[in-house]
């Protein structure tokens, strides 16, 4: 029977235990990190201060005056073992649509502004990612990128930044790109970047090194609680699936106006994600799951 990777545990000073499920990014490892950390929160073990899941690992901060490192490690090993069986990993997550204006003038301008930090200064970031992945037709590239669902594997770095990894695509067929040779000092909020196989939507203006390919029409942070569907300040939740939908300039401006008027409604679908079916069916399961969205 297939089991998920065995976890290696490491002590981090007197307050942290770091659990490494795998040394490289694997979707199955992320499923396990999500399931273990969800179970830890559910148990509400006294002495645990914070729990954070990552791409293929998780971190637990604890109060050593309330629980010993060895006792906590016993808890973690017991929970981690039960979550090594794919049958035990049923995840209730959301599928969220992100309307995006690809190859827009904003990200083209940032490509020009910071071209001296790029290994191919004669190209926009969009053109660079296209060529790097063997595309010569703009629409074919957009179709490939937008038809791929992306798993939110981690939230962090800047508050609200959601690192998302392609689902239902063989590794050799993933859209990927190296980062800037030297990071930009400015990146526009809501711009979509690619670094390695990961995608991000920058939540606010700031530095960045991922290749910019378009602009999300919708915010991924909602600090002022203007959008009722976002029940926290941040749109992303680890384990959610994001799907991009290509839009043109006219629709981009209309959605931006709706957001400003507080009338925009995200397209969101609640789904039950079965890692067991993913293990058994692979990419066919992801296509079944996202086919009507």
Q: What is the pLDDT of residues 248-278, one digit of tens each?
A: 999 999 999 999 888 899 999 998 888 888 8
Whether residues 113 and 255 share a domain: the answer is yes
Q: Is the pLDDT of residue 224 over 80?
A: no
**In this structure, what are the phi and psi dihedrals at residue 227, rounded to the nearest 5 degrees?**
-110, 115
The answer to the question of residue 3 being in a domain is no
What's the mean per-residue pLDDT of the chain? 90
Asked whether residue 55 is domain-assigned, the answer is: yes
Start-to-end CA span in the chain (Å)? 32
In a domain, 121, yes or no: yes
Query: What distance in Å separates the CA atoms of residue 192 and residue 101, rounded to the nearest whole number?
Result: 10
Give bridge partners of residue 60 from the DSSP assignment: 17, 51
Which DSSP category does 46 fall into? T
Cα 256–chain centre separation: 23
Say yes or no: 80 and 119 in one domain.
no
Q: Are 207 and 186 in contact (CB under 8 A)?
A: yes
| Contact predicate 269/293, CB 8 Å | yes
The verdict on 140 and 268 lying in the same domain is yes
Task: Name, of 47-51, 234-238, 268-272, the range with top average pLDDT.
Answer: 47-51
**Banded model confidence at residue 287, pLDDT cuts 50, 70, 90:** confident
- For residue 249, being part of any structural domain is answered with yes
Domain end among 54, 87, 120? 87
Residues whose CB falls within 8 Å of the CB of residue 199, separated by 6 or more in sequence, listed in order: 150, 163, 164, 165, 166, 192, 193
Listed in sequence order, the residues at least 6 apart from 184 whose beta carbon sits closer than 8 Å to its beta carbon are 110, 113, 114, 117, 207, 208, 209
Q: Is residue 210 part of a domain?
A: yes
Query: Does 2 map to a domain?
Result: no
**CATH label of the domain that carries residue 49:** 3.30.1360.40
| Statement to judge: residues 223 and 103 lie in one domain | yes
User: Residue 22: what pLDDT?
Assistant: 87
CATH number at residue 119: 2.40.100.10
Name which residue leads in pLDDT, 225 or 71.
71
Q: Is residue 1 part of a domain?
A: no
Of the candidates 87, 106, 130, which is a domain's last residue? 87
Q: Is there a single domain that holds both residue 139 and residue 223?
A: yes
Residues of the domain holding 14: 8-87
Q: State the Cα–Cα distance between residues 225 and 183, nearest whole angstrom.
A: 31
Residues 76 and 129 occupy one common structural domain: no
Same domain, 109 and 249: yes
Task: Give the pLDDT band of residue 204 (cuts 50, 70, 90).
Answer: very high
Q: Alpha-carbon distance 171 to 197, whole Å?
A: 9
Residue 198: per-residue pLDDT: 95
Q: Is residue 199 part of a domain?
A: yes
pLDDT band at 1 (very low <50, low <70, confident <90, very high): very low
- 261 in the same domain as 142: yes
Please give the Cα distance from 220 to 134 (Å, whole number).
Answer: 30
Is the same domain home to 82 and 105?
no
Q: Report the domain count for the chain.
A: 2
Confidence band (pLDDT; 50, 70, 90) for 157? confident
* Tens digits of residue pLDDT in 64-103: 999 999 999 999 999 988 887 777 677 888 999 999 999 9
Angle at alpha carbon of residue 283, lines to 277 and 285, rounded to 5°:
40
| Domain boundary residue, one of 21, 56, 87 | 87
Q: Is 254 exposed, middle or buried (0-12, 13-18, 19+ CB in 10 A)?
A: middle
Residues 33 and 143 in one domain: no
Same domain flag for 76 and 139 = no
Same domain, 201 and 221: yes
Measure Cα distances from 139 to 66, 146, 190 in Å.
Answer: 57, 10, 21
**What b/e string do you get for 21-36 counting C-beta neighbours within 10 Å, with b at 16 or more?**
bbeebbbbbbbbbbbb
């Amino acid at each position: 029977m297939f089991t998920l990777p065995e976890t290696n545990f490491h002590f981090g000073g007197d307050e942290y235990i770091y659990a490494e499920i795998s040394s490289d990014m694997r979707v199955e490892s992320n499923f396990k990190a999500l399931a273990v950390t969800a179970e830890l929160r559910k148990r509400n073990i006294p002495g645990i201060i914070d729990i954070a899941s990552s791409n293929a690992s998780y971190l637990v901060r604890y109060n050593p005056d309330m629980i010993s490192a060895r006792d906590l490690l016993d808890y973690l090993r017991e929970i981690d073992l039960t979550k090594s069986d794919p049958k035990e990993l049923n995840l209730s997550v959301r599928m969220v649509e992100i309307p995006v204006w690809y190859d827009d003038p904003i990200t083209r301008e940032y490509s020009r502004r910071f071209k001296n930090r790029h290994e191919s200064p004669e190209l926009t970031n969009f053109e660079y990612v296209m060529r790097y992945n063997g595309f010569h037709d703009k629409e074919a590239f957009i179709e490939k990128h937008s038809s791929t669902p992306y798993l939110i594997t981690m939230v962090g770095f800047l508050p609200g930044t959601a690192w998302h990894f392609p689902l239902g695509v063989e590794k050799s067929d993933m859209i990927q790109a190296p980062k800037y040779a030297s990071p930009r000092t400015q990146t526009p909020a809501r711009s979509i970047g690619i670094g390695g196989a990961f995608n991000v939507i920058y939540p606010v203006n700031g530095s960045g090194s991922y290749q910019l390919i378009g602009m999300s029409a919708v915010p991924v942070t909602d600090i002022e609680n203007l959008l009722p569907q976002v029940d926290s300040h941040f749109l992303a939740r680890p384990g959610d699936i994001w799907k991009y939908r290509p839009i043109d300039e006219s629709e981009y401006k209309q959605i931006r106006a709706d957001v400003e008027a507080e009338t925009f409604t995200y397209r969101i679908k609640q789904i039950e994600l079965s890692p067991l079916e993913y293990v058994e069916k692979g990419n066919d399961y992801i296509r079944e799951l996202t086919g009507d969205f």
